[in-house]
Amino acid sequence: MDTAVFARWIGEIAAAVRADKDRLTRLDAAIGDADHGANLERGFDAVVRALADDSPDTPGALLGLVGNTLIRRVGGASGPLYGTAFREAGKALGDARTVSTADLARALEAGLAGVRRLGGAAEGDKTMVDAIAPAVRALAEAVRDGSGQREALGAAASAALAGAEATIPMRAGKGRASYLGPRSVGHEDPGAASAALVFAALCAAEAA
């Protein structure tokens, strides 16, 4: 995968966030403050503009710019968390011009580690980690099993979606939803739902 694939990934995320903005906001209205759709729309619109102005020439530089822009432009918790994920993933890619599925798996592991470090959430805390962690695991497993790139990214996207759905019965342990205690049960976590969009967008970008 070259820089163009990563640029397509970001474009696909921005489009998916725009299309699903109201659903993300509805999910956040149930257990948060009803701004997750707007936060991500603002963030990824700013990212698309930053990439148009700057056109970074490696996947690592591109993801670094994405991360820095999200951190700067999104007020909510999700901005620094997603921003750190993209920035750490970019750092892990270094200045390589093309990225294998194995490289990407390692980079996304670094991104996940960044989210965990910053937010302190473990799996089961009903956050974006509950979608990202199984997706990253599925990707690494597919690489180990010798799956092709498309199949590996498809497995990651399916795992993210299943992980997001699995947050419904969870009680939130981190973030705004944790203030609700047991009343957070029975709702899908908005950040886990958006993380599933991020992995679906990666599949779409690779297949395009």
What is the per-residue burial (b if ≥16 Cβ within 10 Å, else e) of 179-199? Answer: eeeeebeebbbbbbbbbbbbb
Q: Which of 28, 103, 109, 189 binds Mg ion (CB under 5 A)?
A: 28
* Closer Cβ to ligand ADP, 1 or 121, answer by number: 121
Q: Which of 11, 32, 111, 134 binds Mg ion (CB under 5 A)?
A: 32
* Closer Cβ to Mg ion, 163 or 175, answer by number: 175
* Closer Cβ to Mg ion, 33 or 145, answer by number: 33
3-state SS, 121-183, equals CCCCCCCCHHHHHHHHHHHHHHHHCCCCHHHHHHHHHHHHHHHHHCCCCCCCCCCHHHHHHHH
Interface ranges with ligand ADP (CB under 6 A): 28, 32-33, 35-36, 39, 76-78, 81, 115, 119-121, 127-129, 174-176, 189-192
d(CA 97, CA 90): 12
Min CB(169)–ligand ADP separation in Å: 15
Out of ligand ADP, Mg ion, none, which partner does residue 174 contact, by CB within 5 to 8 A per kind?
ligand ADP
Binding region for Mg ion (CB under 5 A): 28, 32-33, 35-36, 76
